[in-house]
Amino acid sequence: MTDSGEIVDLGELAGGAPQFHADPYPVYEHLRTQGPVHHVRTPGPGPTEDLYLIVGHEAARAAFTDPRLVKTPPWGLDGDMMGLHLLFADPPEHGRLRSLVTREFTPRRVAALAPRIQKLTDELLDDMVPRGSADLIGALAFPLPFAVICELLGVPDIDRERFRRMSTQVVAPTSEEEAYAAHVELVGFLDELIADKRRAAPADDLLSALIRTTAEDGDRLSPSELRGMAFLLLIAGHETTVNLIGNGVRALLQHPDQLEALRADMSLLDGAVEEMLRYDGPVETATHRFAAEPVDIDGTVIPAGAPVLIGIATASHDPQRFVEPDRFDIRRDARGHVAFGHGIHFCLGAPLARLEGRIAIRSLLERCPELALAEEPEGWMPGMLIRGTRRLPVRW
């Protein structure tokens, strides 16, 4: 058991920050054997933090539903320029915001996107396939979910490279200055976008619907809540799916027997996507929580106000829950993973991410029967929020 005063440097434990980002699972396994909660220092590059990390499947699921671990920072949200959104909200405010969004972001709206997702995928592959090689992230994994979320929200054509740069600095910052500049730029972009929507004729996109939607009691989203919600949907709505596709294809290409099994039987696809989410999911740790009071977990006390990360990747590789967790097996029953979280903050966009992942991976394998890695993939992105690579060179 780690004493609450002793800080474990995750980078040092792995032999360096690059080694940790490349393969954090041995570090997580070591921590799991010591206990479910540890006082840690996050690895660089970029900003580092001292916080409490919860490891293991059972401990993670319990933490996701622990009312003592709250989303609102102890200092409040007055200094946050983006505005209130679901990842910062606690009950009852969280329930209010989520109900206003789910009135419009319905399963029917998501299911209706399938033909459009297929068409966008086909167009991207039409452009990519004749070339014989490509960076899969730049050619498919990024532009597909980006186009889908932009169309869903009704975002006009914007500079993809500019948006990708802003988004990357938000989820995997290389420095505090770059992250701050990206947030400032995004706030201006979103305020302008919402103002344009208000002035325009009513449209049937999700952002227009969120501007108009009103609950039975007359409640509606405030301007800052709209900005926060647009931010959450735009960033979370594409960034995680980029890395579901990228990490999933990477895992298939590094496990030829599993790739061959999926090619031979596409009825395995749904289960394969769940295994991709478990094995190397796009979210390594959940966004910050804070101890609302001293929280004792198995003898280690998290002090009131301390920041807490719930380890999603550690939960998905816990041998107490998954047999041989470090083995990629598309036939395993991967249900029970927490790649989309658990409890009231379960990912709102999970059905959309799964739909895009299934369509993209099936179409890619059908169009590129000789798909293989062109070279060793790039290193993993810094930070402990998003797990993914910026490039994935492939050939066929």
pTM for the whole structure:
0.91
pLDDT of 2 over the 80 cut: no
- 1 lies in some domain: no
Structure confidence at residue 80 (pLDDT):
66
- 31 lies in some domain: yes
Comparison of pLDDT for 92 and 165, the residue scoring more: 92
- 3 lies in some domain: no
Structure confidence at residue 41 (pLDDT):
95
% of the chain beyond a pLDDT of 90: 62
Region of poorest pLDDT, from 30-34, 181-185, 358-362, 365-369: 181-185
- 187 lies in some domain: yes
Own/partner pairs, 177-185, CB within 8 angstroms, 24+ separation: 179/46, 179/47, 183/81, 183/82, 184/81
Backbone angles phi, psi at 217, to 5 degrees: -90, 10
pLDDT of 170 over the 90 cut: no
Q: Are 262 and 269 in contact (CB under 8 A)?
A: yes
Helices (H) and strands (E) in the chain, counts: 17, 11
Q: pLDDT tens, 82-98?
A: 777 888 899 999 999 89
- 313 lies in some domain: yes
How many structural domains comprise the chain? 1
The most confident of the ranges 111-120, 142-151, 178-187, 373-382 is 111-120
Look at the alpha carbons of 171, 176, 186, 226 in this order and tell me if their dihedral is positive or negative: positive
Q: Are 55 and 309 in contact (CB under 8 A)?
A: no
Q: pLDDT tens, 104-140?
A: 888 888 999 999 999 999 999 999 999 999 999 999 9
Residue 153's nearest CA partner among 205, 101, 116, 111 is 205
Q: Where are the alpha helices (DSSP H) in 281-367?
A: 312-316, 350-367
Comparison of pLDDT for 297 and 234, the residue scoring more: 297
Stretch 373-390: mean pLDDT, rounded? 90
Q: Are 366 and 344 in contact (CB under 8 A)?
A: no
pLDDT of 101 over the 90 cut: no
Taking every pair of C-alpha atoms in the chain, what is the biggest distance, in angstroms?
A: 60
Structure confidence at residue 242 (pLDDT):
95
Model confidence at 3, pLDDT cuts 50, 70, 90, reads very low
Which two structure tokens, joined as six digits, stand for 215?
């609950």
Backbone angles phi, psi at 388, to 5 degrees: 180, 175
Model confidence at 249, pLDDT cuts 50, 70, 90, reads very high
Structure confidence at residue 159 (pLDDT):
67
pLDDT of 282 over the 60 cut: yes
Structure confidence at residue 320 (pLDDT):
96
CATH number of the domain at 112, please. Answer: 1.10.630.10
Q: pLDDT tens, 297-350?
A: 999 999 999 999 999 999 999 999 999 999 999 999 999 999 999 999 999 899
Cα–Cα separations (whole angstroms), residue 24 to 28, 201, 240, 265, 285:
6, 49, 18, 32, 11
Backbone angles phi, psi at 133, to 5 degrees: -155, 160
The most confident of the ranges 6-10, 48-52, 326-330 is 326-330
- 289 lies in some domain: yes
Which two structure tokens, joined as six digits, stand for 252?
């298939």
Tally Cβ neighbours within 10 Å of residue 352: 26
Structure confidence at residue 281 (pLDDT):
96
Stretch 243-252: mean pLDDT, rounded? 97
Q: Are 40 and 54 in contact (CB under 8 A)?
A: no
Structure confidence at residue 81 (pLDDT):
75
Model confidence at 1, pLDDT cuts 50, 70, 90, reads very low
Residue 359: partners with Cβ closer than 8 Å, 6 or more residues away: 114, 117, 118, 121
Which two structure tokens, joined as six digits, stand for 178?
């770059």
**Residue 112 structural domain:** 8-395
Q: If 0-12 CB within 10 Å is exposed, 13-18 middle and 19+ buried, where does residue 31 land?
A: buried
Q: Give the chain's mean pLDDT.
A: 91
Question: What SS3 class is residue 301?
Answer: strand
Q: Are 329 and 275 in contact (CB under 8 A)?
A: yes
Model confidence at 381, pLDDT cuts 50, 70, 90, reads confident
Cα–Cα separations (whole angstroms), residue 330 to 24, 131, 240, 346:
21, 29, 20, 23
Structure confidence at residue 77 (pLDDT):
64
Beta bridge partners of 8: 40
Structure confidence at residue 313 (pLDDT):
97
The most confident of the ranges 177-181, 185-189, 307-311, 344-348 is 307-311
Model confidence at 163, pLDDT cuts 50, 70, 90, reads confident
